[in-house]
Amino acid sequence: MLFNSLEFAIFLPLVFLLYWFVFDYTLKRCSKQLIWQNLFVVVVSYIFYGWWNWRFLVLIAFTSFCSWGSGLLINQSSKPKLWLTLNIVVNLLILGIFKYFNFFVDSFCDLFNLTNNIVIKVILPVGISFYTFQALSYSIDVYRKKIEPTKDVVAFFAYVSFFPQLVAGPIERATNLLPQFQKKRTFDYTEAVDGMRRILWGLFKKIVVADNCATYVDQVWANYQNECGSTLALSAILFAFQIYGDFSGYSDIAIGSAKLFGIQLRDNFLTPYFSRNVAEFWKRWHISLNTWFVDYVYIPLGGSREGRWNTIRNTFVIFLLSGLWHGANWTYVTWGLYHALLFVPLILMGRTKAYYGVTTWKQSPQIFFTFGLVVLGWIIFRAPTIGDVPVYLLGMAHGAWRCSYRFFILHEMLPMNWAIILMLSIEWL
């Protein structure tokens, strides 16, 4: 069920009314009101997820049960590391099979010039990366003594499957979200109104900005070999706003929807295109994913505590994993490698930890330079295959001085341009 679909437009208000004005009213005097409230969240979340393919409900339930059980075993066992490792291996094995099986088989056959006789095509479950990482963070935090394991299986299942952020994030931590399911929630009109504003803003970014940019970008990529340089450059820039409108728009809808149910989710995008260098960009872009990799991969590897070259190595590891997390394609891996390379000079100059305050117009040259580097990375991200990247870049460089006629077709481009300007202006303010 997509956020910008008719089904969700019916589903959300119906669930809202049942959540607050039916179940909450009828169960006010019930001693187990919280359990029933959380159980309702689990049921509607499974309906939301099962709308796509009900068969994969077993998978999310299994992941939830394994992580919940491992938390109890880690706390009670004399060998907590064993149970933590087992849970991590099981969950990553499931993720690897469903998300990367076809990718690794095809890559292996291509590497050794073999014929792929394996006809199994594994379907990728929607949101599996999000809820797997969320479940794993719980067991790791229990092992690190950052959170007490919960015996409330219903609250835990609600934490993993909460429908607003189930398929597109933000990736929540148990330390933030789980306690909210362990205490009674009451309706807050101000929060609900604020949530509706956030939903509408997310829909604007998704439908008005991202979808309109996607139409143009898809047309260009379908025949990019025959387009002039300025058209390719314009398409690359518009894709930057398309992917931002998609990702941040979905996060805004998720955050706003959660507010309707008395749940606070963390911000996931903080005006990343106003960043003054790539390090700042990654502090503002997909924050929940980046901090997940930092806390559970980068720091355990040593972080930046063991010298610059180890810092560079650890940076490459998390960016390669981040690229692979986004999809099973060598373009995503290369995109991660590209951003890791951009980090190297910042690490050598010691500029990755600097605090950056509010951006001003005086930093415009830095902002535009950083945006240009990010746009080049999005070309790698958007390319169908890695072989398309150099062809696109050469085409963009060749004849880029000639302005494409599409720059001047105001009736075609003006509404989209104004939508982007409006989005950037409001976020700047």
pLDDT, tens digit, for every residue of 392-401? 999 888 765 5
Identify whether the C-beta of residue 227 lies closer than 8 Å to the C-beta of residue 399: no
Judge if the upstream peptide bond of residue 170 is cis by omega within 30 degrees of 0: yes
Rounded to an integer, the average pLDDT of 370-375 is: 96
The confidence band for 24, taking pLDDT boundaries of 50, 70 and 90, is low
60 in the same domain as 144: yes
pLDDT digits (tens, 9 = 90+) for 35-64: 888 999 999 999 999 888 888 899 999 999
**256 belongs to a structural domain:** yes
180 in the same domain as 234: no
Residue 406 has pLDDT above 60, yes or no: no
Pairwise CA distance, residues 423 & 256, whole Å = 17
Residue 143 has pLDDT above 90, yes or no: yes
Name the nearest CA neighbour of 333 among 107, 62, 21: 107
Pairwise CA distance, residues 429 & 416, whole Å = 20
**Measured in whole angstroms, how far is the alpha carbon of residue 264 from the centre of its chain?**
17
pLDDT digits (tens, 9 = 90+) for 103-131: 667 666 666 666 655 545 667 778 889 99
Q: 95: domain range?
A: 6-184
Name the nearest CA neighbour of 3 among 246, 217, 197, 218: 246
261 in the same domain as 358: yes
Residue that wins the pLDDT comparison between 367 and 399: 367
125 in the same domain as 45: yes
At which of 184, 209, 227 does a domain end? 184
* Tokens standing for residue 326: 């986004």
102 in the same domain as 83: yes
What are the helix and strand counts (H, E) for the chain?
Answer: 18, 0
At which of 152, 184, 216 does a domain end? 184
Q: What is the pLDDT of residue 149?
A: 93
Q: What is the pLDDT of residue 158?
A: 95
Cβ neighbors of 232 (< 8 A, separation 6 or more) are 220, 224, 392, 395, 396, 400
Pairwise CA distance, residues 372 & 390, whole Å = 17
Of the listed ranges 287-291, 311-315, 352-356, the least confidently predicted one is 352-356
25 in the same domain as 117: yes
Identify whether the C-beta of residue 220 lies closer than 8 Å to the C-beta of residue 235: yes
The DSSP output letter for 284 is: H
Q: What is the pLDDT of residue 35?
A: 85
Number of domains observed in the structure of the chain: 2
Rounded to an integer, the average pLDDT of 223-238 is: 88
**Measured in whole angstroms, how far is the alpha carbon of residue 270 from the centre of its chain?**
13
**1 belongs to a structural domain:** no
* Tokens standing for residue 99: 């998300």
231 in the same domain as 169: no
289 in the same domain as 329: yes
415 in the same domain as 276: yes
Rounded to an integer, the average pLDDT of 202-211 is: 94
* Tokens standing for residue 57: 């409900």
Instruction: Quote the mean pLDDT of the chain.
Output: 87
Residues labelled as active-site residues: 326
421 in the same domain as 334: yes
The confidence band for 341, taking pLDDT boundaries of 50, 70 and 90, is very high
Residue 174 has pLDDT above 90, yes or no: yes
Q: Give the three-state DSSP class for 143.
A: helix
The confidence band for 423, taking pLDDT boundaries of 50, 70 and 90, is very high
304 in the same domain as 170: no
73 in the same domain as 133: yes
At which of 168, 184, 200 does a domain end? 184
**Measured in whole angstroms, how far is the alpha carbon of residue 122 from the centre of its chain?**
22
Pairwise CA distance, residues 60 & 95, whole Å = 11
**116 belongs to a structural domain:** yes
Pairwise CA distance, residues 120 & 49, whole Å = 24
Pairwise CA distance, residues 230 & 399, whole Å = 7
Identify whether the C-beta of residue 294 lies closer than 8 Å to the C-beta of residue 318: yes
